[in-house]
Structure 1
Amino acid sequence: MFASHRTGTLLGTRILLGVSGGIAAYKSAVLARLLKKAGAEVRVVMTEGAQAFIQPLTFQALTGEPVGTSLLDPEAEAGMGHIELARWAELILIAPASANLIARLSRGHADDLLTTLCLASGAERMLAPAMNQQMWAHPAVQENVDRLKAQGWGILGPDAGEQACGDIGSGRMMEPEAIIDTLQASPGQRPAEGLEIVITAGPTREAIDPVRYLTNHSSGKMGYALAAAAQALGATVTLISGPVRLATPPGVARVDVDSAEQMLDAAERAAMTADIFIAAAAVADYRPATAAEQKIKKGSEDELVLRLIKNPDVVATIAAGENAPFTVGFAAETEALEHHALDKLERKRLMMIVANQVGGGLGFDRDDNAATLYWREPEEQIRSERFDAQPKSALAEKLIMRIVAHYRSATSA
């Protein structure tokens, strides 16, 4: 089986890439190219629906191999028949997987070349769903996905965001780069296996009175994406969340807080047993010196003066603690991004920091993000890695993999 001999590389791995019908089929061409670039042997099988969106010739040019399109193709059967192709594959990867294909696979249909190969092969099997967000949420689709999971299928994604139809929600095919990272990271060994990771996310609210508060524009999406990625990569995850409207990622323990002081209290308790602490929350720097017990009424004065005092610095406090975990901060800046990020890295005694530009439509409350990861090498040199704009789910997976790799290196030195 494919999973039994994975070494974290795709070099020489025999991958059967299945492509079903849907606008996301264009991503499969990118995926095929990246699989080849990673050193895999790739053969492509397309459903009839897929051929309405992209031509077999595209995949033939990218892989250098003939493309399977028909179960009853005399020319194909004269060469490598469908049984031989099923035996050849170490991994069957279907991307995109439409709702229709998921339904047929879950019921054991063998009415075209791709579904027949899936039944005839003992290879590891994974699929990346792609469909309208309402379809993905439909109970029948979720039931079919659960049935496939029970049969041993790995499910990659889907991502959330704007879709080709104009809807916004979960259902987009996972980006090809994220699929590659996932395949390279998952041998059955998972890079974060055995680690306890604590992540803060979202804004804090600092009370002015019982109905008003100071806060910021953080949606929590990046922190929640990090929590989901860390859990998927094998970690035990505690998510300390400010007030957001997001569902808790499956398998993640969530602690809800409102204020910066509450977040610090929860963080200090969780960090006591944590291996890695990632401070993705946008914690308010200041809070009102006093919060009124009753709603402040509008008087005749033209001004209302609030006296603010500094909040505790959550990430700096955790990093300075006795037996501190491997601590990673975030720097969300509107200008001089690198300067401010490196200043925080040094001043707060962090192991790594993720810097991203915010404001002017960037950063907050978006489904995509770009970032630069900074860290200091043992020889005191500052290193960095840039991640271009991509879905936060894909970025989160890359960041968790890099953070875990640096943690492993630091703790084994």
Structure 2
Amino acid sequence: MIFQQSRKTSRKKKTAGVRFWRLPQASFRLFGFNTTVSTISPRMNIRCFYSSITPSGRIRHTITDKSESKPNATGKSIMTFQKKYYIYSTFLFLTLILPQISHAEIRIVTTTEDIASITTEIGRDKVEVSAITRGYQDTHYIEAKPSYMVKANRADLLIYQGLELEVGWLPLLIRGARNPQIMPGGKGLLNLSSAIVPLEVPVGEVDRSRGDIHPLGNPHYHLDPENGLMMASAIAEKLKELDPENAAGYTDNWNRFRQKLESKIIEWQSRLDAIPDKRVVTYHTTWSYFLHRFGIQSVGTLEDKPGVPPSPRHLADLANKMNREKIKIILAANYHETRFSELLASKTGARILSMPVSTGGVDEVTDYIGLFDYLVERMAAAFQSGEKS
């Protein structure tokens, strides 16, 4: 049963010298009939034009008027259609609209699918969450599309990663959304980087000669699951601030998520601790937090400088080092181009391990915890395969 209120504006109508007000039309589907009701009210009398489409496709029209109601055989007035209509409308309001009001969800937009996954775990049925970027995209390079601005315009809360991960497009998106609640300083804007301690904060003057570096530190902190706990805690606190009536539920959800993630961290750590030699070459510094958490050593990066393609000299030096130290894994994000990795692999016999860095990066990874299940298992299998070769 679907009820839709049309947006037609009220206007006056004259009929036989009498001034009427045309009230809004209403259309709904009732017991298989597509129905439209239009009411016209001259002061005290109410006239209703009622049309319906029968299952056979015929159109039936009915006009009722309060002044034309006839008493029945018992002397009682027959209930006119407009009374039935108003009773039906009241019933719809009480059964459909009021429950939606009482169970209103907090509309949340996140910049990544990792943040969306964690937010859903904390908010559960109290939130409606949508992510702007997909897990297979490089979040640095996203276009601020009008459709993203529409999402942000309707949001009660915008959550982003920070440390300038989204600096190329998020400020433009926020301005275009024209939503005061998510403007800088608004209560509907949450920067999760304030909850963590960043790695690789540059020292000294930062300029383009040092490559594409982030002056506030490496922004890929979500790849340390311990930081995932901090992110979840910050999200829970923000939801409790915006929706204090459901604060206890958010706390319970946070505790459940924390217990599950802490248990998984112990499991992942044990899985990788069993491998004695954990050394890799990485394409970019994307993996720094993951490597740091699980005791994996990076002996070099394929890029000479962050965001800058490697020179032939750099590739030759790196290949010599890998051969000398017997490094057999080149670790890259699955959105990075493969030609430089393939060239280095051809000179060293190393295996290219191209993996997602975010939830949704591959079909098998559907949530934040599932991301680490996938990464740890693939990483452990690659190390063990290298030991046998």
Q: TM-score normalized by structure 1? A: 0.27
More helix by share: 2
More strand by share: 1
Q: TM-score normalized by structure 2? A: 0.29
Kindly name which structure, 1 or 2, has the bigger radius of gyration based on alpha carbons: 2
